[in-house]
Amino acid sequence: MTKRPASAGDSTRSVHGGEREHQATDALTTPIYQTSTFWFSDSEQLRAFQEGRSSREEYGRYGNPTWHAVERKLCELEGAEAAVLFASGMCAATTLFLALLPKGGHLIVTSDCYRRTRQFIDEYLTKLDVETTIIDPSDTKQLADAIRDETRLFFTESPTNPYLRVIDVAETADVCHRRGVDVVIDSTFATPVNHCALAEGADYVIHSATKYLGGHNDLLAGVALGSEEKIAPVREAVGVLGGVLDAHAAYLLLRGLKTLALRVARHNENGMRLARWLEAHSRVRQVWYPGLESHPDHATAKRTMKGFGGVVTFELDTDLEGAFRFTDACQLAYLAPSLGGVETLIEVPALMSFWDRTPEERAALGIRDGLIRLACGIEDSDDLIADLERAFAAL
């Protein structure tokens, strides 16, 4: 696949990337190839395909022209040689783990991590005798100390969920590569507009394309990107495991990507303004946002990221019931999981993602009762502030 042109800007690549080689007709937009299989004119054509003498589609679990247009566009945006799409971000992560971790292997992950990723590691990778070491985000000494002979992968989000810790990818990659360990960065919160981890030494980047890449809360998708060599076993695995993306969802993702740079710029703007406003509010104990000087990884974020995203995490000066009153009083922000869409979403992590844990278990994971995760959309920031003012009044 084509690497992104060094001279092309984010919006240019978002609009044009990967879409001039999609089909034989002259349609401006890439068609939806809504088919499960592709036919051959005769046995000789099929034999040429099987022998690798022709490149074409065969069956919908292995490829689709609509997918490939999305993959090419994402490669240009992320600076990758190859990409493979999945039915969800979780499918991207789990398939990558299954493809790359051998039985009895060792994985290193950071403590601040999406709950379902942690659940897959704890409940499913253990069945393959894969051991996992959990380290603090941004602690490269802990990382170096955790590496063993059987360590294959270091996995982290950057920024992480929900505390938005930011990893120094170049330093992390240096530590890992000296010991033969590959680095996997879940860059969902950053997007390729704000940060390109592959350029800093990561071996793999994954996204829940459901979030910012799709951008409209209307699809589920995931992607893994890297070099042709690195992505090959992951592509092979998805053909076997079957977590493939529907052609219509691929079309929606392709359409959403065209406005990615524009949307992310607005998310960045809203996130920064809301974070500063919340940090100054008397009923807020603490705000976590990489763009704030108070964030533990602000220096790294400022040095490596072009923007800080639309997610702002903050702790209210209240208890769990007060947090419920706060989110219930919002009239503009939707009480809902997820992030990265045009609509602003808000949640109490203790209720939304960790309600099945005891208060003590939540506290051990750093999930405080008054914790709020705000995923800013692209609305006018004045209206978002007014909505939160109404919520504060409920306290």
Annotated catalytic residue: which of 13, 211, 263, 266? 211
Sign of the alpha-carbon dihedral angle for 382, 285, 346, 267 = positive
Annotated catalytic residue: which of 168, 186, 203, 297? 186
DSSP 8-state class, residue 37: B
Q: Is 211 an annotated catalytic residue? A: yes
What DSSP line would sit under 139-169, residue for residue? -HHHHHHH--TTEEEEEEESS-TTT-----H
181, 150 contact by CB (below 8 A): no
Residue with tokens 């990818």: 169
Selection from 284, 293, 313, 285 nearest residue 164 by Cα: 313
Environment class of 336 (CB within 10 Å of its CB; exposed 0-12, middle 13-18, buried 19+): middle
Q: Is 61 an annotated catalytic residue? A: yes
Q: Is 73 an annotated catalytic residue? A: no
Helix (H, G, I), strand (E, B) or coil at 306: coil
Angle between helices 381-393 and 260-279 (to 10 degrees): 40
Annotated catalytic residue: which of 4, 13, 72, 114? 114
223, 77 contact by CB (below 8 A): no
DSSP 8-state class, residue 160: -
Question: Residue 82: beta bridge partners?
Answer: 226
Q: For residues 313 and 160, what is the distance between their CA atoms, to the nearest angstrom? A: 11
Q: Is 186 an annotated catalytic residue? A: yes
Helix (H, G, I), strand (E, B) or coil at 182: strand
Environment class of 111 (CB within 10 Å of its CB; exposed 0-12, middle 13-18, buried 19+): middle
Q: For residues 216 and 258, what is the distance between their CA atoms, to the nearest angstrom? A: 12
| Residues forming the active site | 61, 114, 186, 211
